[in-house]
Amino acid sequence: MMKKVVKFGGSSLASARQFKKVGEIIRSDKSRRYVVPSAPGKRNDKDEKVTDLLYQCYDAASEGRSYKKILEKIKTRYDEIIDGLDLNLNLDYEFNQIEENFLKKAGRDYAASRGEYLNGMIMAAYLGYEFVDAAQVVFFDDNGNFDAETTNRELGERLEHIERAVIPGFYGAKQDGTITTFSRGGSDVTGSIVARAIHADMYENWTDVSGFLVADPRIVKNPQVIETITYKELRELAYMGASVLHEDAIFPVRKEGIPINIRNTNRPEDKGTLIVESTCRKPRYTITGIAGKKGFCSINIEKAMMNTEVGFGRKVLEVFERYGISFEHMPSGIDTMTVLVHQSEFEEYEQSVIAGIHRAVEPDFVEMESDLALIAVVGRGMKASRGTAGRIFSALAHARVNVKMIDQGSSELNIIIGVKNADFEAAIRAIYDIFVTTEME
Ligand code: ASP
């Protein structure tokens, strides 16, 4: 029988109504055997996530401020779910325990983890699946780093004998039992770890969108959903700000070649996005996705005969390194070299860096330009098709966008374009239209 791990995000589990949708999804496919829940998320825009309430409550309790009201609010959220599902479950004992541990200062990670712990108990009761506390099967080392190999072994052994289980997301424990969490959104990571440990055929990640979109919906109206994307393409887009999945969630499944399917709990009929190691499937459009970020600045260094000076680039980059500034891109010409950095990281040290460059390489000019945006046009299909760059630039010219910088990685997986912040949205729309809107017709 196929084995699927299904992870449900906070908005999919925010209320009894949402739980019922999740129950239907799980029951409709017998291979959905291992369930990883998040804590209850927001029910509407003004609502609060249970995880945030837990942090607030713990901070108050451990600093001697009044906390009982927040704790009561959290308990009510769970009780409403339990009542709405008609479950015979009482969390009084758990909440007494939690309160006691808060007062004993069990730690912020412990506090936050209770959100998924309790939701996992409810989920297990609702589905009739076995509850497996993540603290017993997901391990962190003494420094709080995730211990992938121990976890993989222990979790695999434990689940081998359980046909259907609920494993709460987001946390695990150190060897001494101290509860530790991943960073925010970390239930995605737990799902991936479970998928690896049981050699799942598929890791389904259920959320409130129907997959990855070709472009940001705040910029492009009703963008298309990406049907299939490779891990590498995803990394490129995620790095440029497209976020649906926790960044670290890719690694465990990637090791095993397990695909991830992003699905929408509110529209289970949609196929979502499939994330794979590699694929022969032709992408629907030449490009897979577009993403970008504002807030960069460029430092352009000019010096006649720079090309003959061995070590020029290193000396320049050393100056940035000294101030802890990482660079994003570094296009160069014969007598010029440009370094692109995050404006927010750079601003504070701007004058020291410029002085440092003068001292290090005695340039003819150093020029800076701020308020730049970078746009990544990503797609495995670009390699096989000619004229992609040409189409991008003619589209931008038509939209009257001035291109400040171009950088194509040698993998031919992406083209990075630098434009003024003010042109950012227009540029993304122009690129989307030329590839997606016109190729759709
Ligand atoms: N509940 C945690 C958070 O809000 C983890 C998760 O939902 O994945 O960050």
Per-residue pLDDT of the chain (441 residues), as tens digits, is 899 999 999 999 999 999 999 999 999 999 999 999 999 999 999 999 999 999 999 999 999 999 999 999 999 999 999 999 999 999 999 999 999 999 999 999 999 999 999 999 999 999 999 999 999 999 999 999 999 999 999 999 999 999 999 999 999 999 999 999 999 999 999 999 999 999 999 999 999 999 999 999 999 999 999 999 999 999 889 888 778 899 899 999 998 999 999 999 999 999 999 999 888 877 788 899 999 999 999 999 999 998 888 999 999 999 999 999 999 989 888 899 999 999 999 999 999 999 999 999 999 999 999 999 999 999 988 887 788 888 999 999 999 999 988 888 767 789 999 999 999 999 999 999 999 988 776
Q: What is the pLDDT of residue 441?
A: 66
Contact 119 CB / ligand 1 (< 6 Å) = no
Going from the Cα of 1 to the center of ligand 1, the distance in angstroms, rounded, reads 31
| Nearest Cα residue to 38 out of 263, 207, 223, 287 | 207
The Cα–Cα gap between 183 and 66 comes to: 27
CA distances from 155 to 122, 145, 148, 161, 254 (A): 21, 17, 10, 11, 18
**Nearest 5°: CA angle at 183, between 178 and 184?**
120
Q: What is the pLDDT of residue 322?
A: 96
Going from the Cα of 358 to the center of ligand 1, the distance in angstroms, rounded, reads 47
Q: What is the pLDDT of residue 286?
A: 85
The Cα–Cα gap between 425 and 423 comes to: 6
Going from the Cα of 292 to the center of ligand 1, the distance in angstroms, rounded, reads 25
> Are the beta carbons of 231 and 277 closer than 8 angstroms?
yes
Residue having the nearest C-alpha atom to atom 2 of ligand 1: 185
Contact 190 CB / ligand 1 (< 6 Å) = no
What tokens does 381 get? 């299909």
